[in-house]
A and B are shown apart, each in its own frame.
Chain A
Amino acid sequence: MLRYTAKRAFLALMVAFTVSFATYFLLFLSTDPALVIAGEDAEPDVVAQIREQYGFDRPVFVQYLDWLGGVLQGDFGKSIYWRQPVEDLIISHAPVSLQLALMGVFVTIIVAIPLGVIAAMRPNSIVDRFALSVAISAQAIPNFWLGLMFIILFAVMVPIFPVSGDETWQHFVMPAIVLGTSSVPSVMRLTRTGVLDVMASDYIRTARANGFRTYRLLVRHALRNALLPVVSVLAVQLGAKLNGSFITETIFAINGLGRLTLESIYGADIPTVQMLIFIFALMFVVLTFLSDVLNAWLDPRIRLG
């Protein structure tokens, strides 16, 4: 187990570094930060001076190592657009995003898992077909459009929840539903397949043949095994929600990390964008690592195989 964990941790670390360099390099190639700071119609010698002052004239690799050294010491760089340290920006915007992502995953869980289980208990029944059409529809709905529909419907016709801002928990209800919907299809399908597989397994058949009630079997024995892969997918979905919420945050005027990234991109604020994308990648890597380790701990076949 320790060996497996160490191996996974090393891989996660490598991936995080590779991703940070790839992002740095791509953003470096795509624009000229000196020109952004100086403004579009600045004199060439002013641009040159800024380039030298900020060190943009050095080779990309040197700049990257410089940046990485800072990050490792807790210095995330200084935002060009917001004119404050990037770490302050991240700390002030993170809680809102985290709350939204957790609530989104919660919505996914309470919709997708029961739906998947019920569908699997009666394969090819009306319930199963209904669950499948929910999955197919949710996959095809543009998420940002769903958000707008909710705003039109609930803000104007049935004003139950506020549709803009992030002051109270009620503000998060509608965005969380919108954000949660996007991962309902995958989690539901996975739950359904998992339960179907387990219910067809020998130990369940034996127990049924011995007269156990199906419902009790499901809750006591089948779900535990069937939901193993679902747990790891949910961890990954949480990571995806943290960075995928930028559209939802924009629509519902929630001042989280996603919206911060978007506005930094519009402001051509490369240090902030670079750091945020790295943070998102890092969170994804960490969550994947945790879910791998959790799975290996729960299922010895993975760590030994």
Chain B
Amino acid sequence: MLIGLELTNYALFSHLSLGLTAPDVAALDDLSAVGEFYPLGQLSAIVGKNDSGKSALFAALGFLSDCLIHDVPFASAAGTRGGFAALKTHGSEGPMRLSMTFRKDRETFLTYSVGLDSDVHNRPYVKDEDVLLTTFKDGKKETRTLLQVAGGEGKVVARNGEESVAMVDRRHLSLGAYGRLLNYADLCWIYAQITRWFIASDDTEEEPLTGHTKGGHRHVSPRFDNIRNVLEYMEREDPRRYEETLAYIRERVPDFKRIGDAFLDHGQRSGSKRLFSLLLLLTDPKPRPLLCLDYPDQQMYHDAIDVLMFEIREYLRRHPTCQIFLTTYNPNTIEALRPGEVYLFERPEENSSVKVHAVGRSEKVRAMLKEGIGMASIWYGGYFEPEPK
């Protein structure tokens, strides 16, 4: 599980800190104190005014994932990203830094930190990269460096000891190399996490369409444009499961008529199609570790939102190590959330840095919810914002 992250000098985040971050792991004395750092849980919802950076967070995760799967220059230019110079915070000094904290199991924390910068020609390169493993065994805390690379050189820890690292170029992340080799088990684990993130947001809109190719697709694509292919695959692979899944979804999508060409060819814009696609995504037997859904409740009637939120809860219950991040400004969605799941993004002035407030920290919010006041009313009353000092 991704329990925390830090972004430095990425787009409008000069510094963004969410959940339990790398410095927090370093400061952690005891597993019982984890809650005090408000780690990200299975469901995290980001609310905030327009242009407060909500979608930019998903873009950052997508960027990191692409850097790992491909390389930094490719990732910087892919889709609508516009190159590294456009991604790095304007006027920032120092490299861009992306830091992810994972909790692999109750006692095991892995942090992955990447520093990226560009040369005089604005060509991006990997400045530094490291992976730290922190374990708590029998109350004893141990931290080991599994990977440490700077300037293209460093060291990595394999099963049988330490090895030196020498990258052929500065375009590729070392994790991209070692994470593909089973001999480096923990690095493989992190690589599998990050590269399997599902980022459904407007940033992915410009990518080549996958849906117009023929044939079965196993998984729903982040553009939600291969529904037909996924259904085809499912029908061929396991007809019984196919019928069951369709019946399950049909019962839950209000106004569902039948799956015909007309239904499937409507763009993602239609609320019913959107709900259908999301429910199909949630039935995936091999779910992704993290789904990032940008305004999944767009254009959805309130009863459809109730269905979506329930199915999200059920999905997370079935898959205790899976996570969903979503952005929203719909009161019906917010009504279905708990304080600990909500993060408010604020950008006080147009060019200032984004501030994050974990609503779970507010005793007032928790107390009001306990007394039966709904989250939407609490939000309307402005209680998601931090208290004035």
Q: Do A and B bind each other?
A: no
A interface residues (Cβ-Cβ under 8 A, vs B): none
